[in-house]
Structure formats: C-alpha cells, structure tokens
C-alpha cells in the first residue's frame, strides 16, 4: 500500500491545509447550520439555535405522517437494493467467468441509466408503469429504483470478482468441483464484502432518491425526500431539519462502516486491481 509523501513545509506549505479546510467548510456549512436549526426549542428557523431541545426528533417517531414516510423509504430502499444485487450478481459473475459478446452489451445496459440525468429514467419509468397500469404502486418504485441503482452493485461486485485468483478456481475445478460448488465455496465468500458494499451504496442512494419515486408514485407513496419537499413548499417545519440530520448521520455511518471493514479507496478506484 502506498504511503503518502511527508508534507514539505516550504513557502507554499500552508496552502494545502488552507485549501482542504476551505473545501471542508464549504461542504459542511449547510449541514452544520441545519443541525443547529434542528435543536431550536421553538418552531423557528434560527441559527444559532435558541433554547436547546430534541423534541423535533421525537416528533419524527410519533407523528404518523413522518413515520409513514420513514417506513415507505426503508421498505423501498431495502427491497430495491436486494433486487439490484440479485440482478447484478449473476450478470457480473457471468461476465467474469465467460466470454460472450452480448454480455458486454448487458453490462453497458446496467451502467447506462446511472450516467444519464435521472429525470430521463424517471419519465421512462412513468411512461412504462402508466402503460401497464402499475402507476402509483410501491412495487413500481422498488423495481424502478432497483434498475436505476443496479450500476452500483454491478461495479462493486465486478471489482471484487477481479481480485479472485484464477488459479484458485482452476485448482478447484481440476479437483472436481462443479460450477455450483465453485461458486458457493470459493467465489461467493471472496466477493461477499463487495456484495455488501454494493447493497449499502444502493440502500443509501435509494433512501435519498427523489425524482424517480416522485414520478412513479409521488401522490400515493410518500417517501422521506418527497415528504421533505412537500413540507418545504408550505414553509418551514423543524422536523425537516431533524430528518436531514438523521440522513447525514446514516450516510456517514454506512460509508464509515464500509471504510472500516473494507477497502474504500480501492472500491472507489484507487490502485489498479491485480496488475501491480
């Protein structure tokens, strides 16, 4: 693993920490302000907060509106991540194990929706579900999210499979293991962390996704982002600030865990795999 070069304290030595601090402040500022606002004792949009209180956090779990939105969001995120992984795993495995032309095309298909502006996928999904009469159903949101986010587990699992030594597979095959045994006893345990990361990426992004959920079932299935936006239209409520803080904490927790138990820099593409 590469070590960082020791910091040189030259004439420009202070520039680097300054630049990093400015960027950190820019990225943290709105989150810090919202966190502060969420602690206001009164229903006011004030920063610094006046009178500290956690009642808006309490409201989230007692108010049926917010509770319902939390429930919808968790169901959608959980189910769609499962479906996304179930689509990505056989595809990535097939691509890694065999060489056929059309599998590449399928891989491209799995990457495409993620690269385009999401409003396009959202409108495509709206047209599709409206045509077959599933518009407004939670299942439609789940499947739409699964297809939209399939890119993430596809990328992480492919990355994981590339690190599996081909010799190990060959050795097992020589000793008589069939495809099924190979997969169950060698490949699956080795790529499991990558499957989990793919699931986690998918889960967090689905939880935060707005436009597809809104277009497919915005008026019947209220997810958390939709609920926040609807509240935002009618002015400010402190619960919005509280739920925002929860989102930030959850994202940091999930990615922190991935970093703790996995190799985040490698997952994000640092160091070319296997070659070096």
Residues in 33-52 that interact with other proteins by CB under 8 A: 33-34, 36-37, 44-47
Q: Which of 41, 55, 57, 97 binds other proteins (CB under 8 A)?
A: 97
Helix (H) or strand (E) holding 45: none
Q: How far is the CB of 157 from other proteins (least distance, A)?
A: 12
CA 69 → CA 75, 202, 227, 239, distances in Å? Answer: 10, 19, 7, 12
Q: Is the peptide bond before 48 cis (omega within 30 degrees of 0)?
A: yes
Rule CB under 8 A: say whether 166 interacts with other proteins: yes
Rule CB under 8 A: say whether 131 interacts with other proteins: yes
Rg (CA), the chain: 23
Rule CB under 8 A: say whether 128 interacts with other proteins: yes
Q: Which of 55, 60, 74, 210 binds other proteins (CB under 8 A)?
A: 210
Count the site residues for other proteins by CB under 8 A: 103
Q: Which of 75, 82, 116 is nearest to 223 (CA)?
A: 75
Q: How far is the CB of 5 from other proteins (least distance, A)?
A: 6
Beta partners for 40?
52
Rule CB under 8 A: say whether 82 interacts with other proteins: no
Question: How many whole angstroms from its chain centre is CA 205?
Answer: 3
Q: Which of 84, 71, 30, 25 is nearest to 205 (CA)?
A: 84
Task: Return the residues of window 246-275 that contact other proteins according to CB under 8 A.
Answer: 247-248, 251-252, 255-256, 259, 264-265, 268-272
Rule CB under 8 A: say whether 171 interacts with other proteins: no
Rule CB under 8 A: say whether 103 interacts with other proteins: yes
Q: How far is the CB of 192 from other proteins (least distance, A)?
A: 19
Task: Return the residues of window 50-69 that contact other proteins according to CB under 8 A.
Answer: none
**Which letter, b or e, does each residue of 201-226 get, where b requires 16 or more Cβ atoms within 10 Å of its Cβ?**
bbbbbbbebbbbbbbbbbeebbbbbb
Q: How far is the CB of 64 from other proteins (least distance, A)?
A: 21
- Judge contact between 205 and 250, C-beta under 8 A: no
Residue 68 or residue 164: which is nearer to other proteins going by CB? 164
Tokens of 43: 């229903």
Task: Return the residues of window 11-30 that contact other proteins according to CB under 8 A.
Answer: 12, 16, 19-20, 23-24, 26-27, 29-30
Rule CB under 8 A: say whether 204 interacts with other proteins: yes
Single out the segment in contact with other proteins by CB under 8 A; choices: 55-63, 74-82, 187-195, 222-230. 222-230
- Judge contact between 168 and 183, C-beta under 8 A: no
Beta partners for 52?
40
């Amino acid at each position: 693993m590469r070590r960082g070069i020791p910091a040189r304290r030259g004439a420009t030595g202070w520039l680097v920490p300054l630049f990093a601090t400015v960027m950190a402040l820019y990225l943290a500022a709105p989150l810090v302000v919202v966190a502060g606002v969420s602690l206001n004792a009164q229903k006011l949009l004030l920063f610094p907060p006046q009178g500290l209180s956690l009642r808006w956090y309490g409201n989230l779990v007692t108010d049926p509106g917010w509770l319902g939105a939390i429930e919808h969001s968790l169901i959608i995120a959980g189910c769609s991540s499962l479906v996304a992984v179930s689509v990505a795993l056989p595809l990535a495995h097939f691509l890694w194990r065999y060489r056929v032309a059309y599998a590449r095309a399928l891989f491209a298909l799995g990457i495409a929706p993620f690269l385009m502006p999401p409003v396009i996928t959202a409108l495509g999904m709206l047209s599709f579900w409206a045509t077959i009469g599933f518009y407004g159903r939670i299942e439609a949101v789940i499947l739409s999210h699964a297809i939209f986010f399939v890119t993430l587990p596809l990328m992480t699992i492919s990355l994981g499979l590339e690190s599996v030594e081909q010799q190990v597979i060959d050795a097992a095959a020589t000793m008589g293991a069939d495809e099924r045994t190979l997969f169950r006893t060698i490949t699956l345990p080795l790529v499991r962390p990558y499957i989990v990361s793919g699931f986690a990426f998918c889960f967090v992004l689905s939880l935060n996704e707005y436009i597809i959920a809104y277009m497919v079932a915005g008026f019947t299935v209220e997810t958390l982002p939709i609920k926040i936006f609807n509240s935002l239209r009618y002015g400010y409520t402190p619960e919005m600030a509280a739920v925002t803080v929860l989102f930030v904490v959850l994202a940091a927790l999930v990615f922190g865990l991935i970093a703790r138990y996995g190799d985040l820099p490698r997952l994000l593409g640092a160091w070319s795999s296997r070659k070096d």
